[in-house]
Amino acid sequence: MVTEDFKNIDFQEGKLILIDKPLEWTSFDIVNKVRYLISKKLQIKKIKVGHAGTLDPLATGLLIVCTGKFTKLIETYQGQEKEYIATIKLGATTPSFDRETEEDNIYEWSHITLEALNRVIPSFIGEIDQVPPVFSAKKIDGKRSYESARKGLDIELKPNKIVIYSIEIIKFELPMVTVKLVCSKGTYIRSFARDLGAALQSGAYLIDLRRTKIGEFSVENAQGIKEFEEKLKSLELN
């Protein structure tokens, strides 16, 4: 499938654009920016633009953006398996399971070894029940969970069935561990970090997350939002 073949700029007919999302941008920030840039370039008021799978603001990496008629394919891309590189800090937790909030509890981690890590990792492979973070976009009584969490309200989320296909330890340097993880739609890597800490009789939270693949698409073939903007500016319209 053609992605960034800018020789044909019929964005309304449909384009699939691979963006390497930068840190602190939301997925909707990217969608809004792409929509604005295309509308400005083509001098049109409206164009359909959507993304195929949310990345948290503190995550970077592959975001599939669809325009025009290709927005009908979003659910197909969302359902494909995803690959992440995640760095997790052991020995502490945060309410959000990542760096969005401050550490709230400190735990012993000196007992954790590479052997211990290799013993617990197999328990996460396959279909498992995973409780989403309360600091997530899950809806409870019509409200986003994170809205209630930020107000300090008690929230209880039900577990979801997810599949983790593989976990590979890339780096182990206490209290940090970096893994490559391939998983299904709906998997929260922040929740995996929390559960990994508990399995190791300690605490853990996500320090860094990068999505590297969605199905057959790789972040290696993606472009930065600035690169996309410059490429769009250089186009000559007939």
Instruction: Give catalytic residue positions.
Output: 56
Cis peptide bond upstream of 175, omega within 30: yes
How are beta strands 204-214 and 59-67 bridged, if at all?
Answer: parallel
List Cα–Cα distances, 88 to 23, 144, 170, in angstroms: 17, 25, 12
Residues 6+ apart with CB under 8 A from 3: 15, 16, 17, 18, 217, 221
Q: What are phi and psi of 103, to 5 degrees?
A: -60, 135
Residue 185 token pair: 């739609």
How many contiguous H segments (helices) and E segments (strands) does the chain have?
6, 13
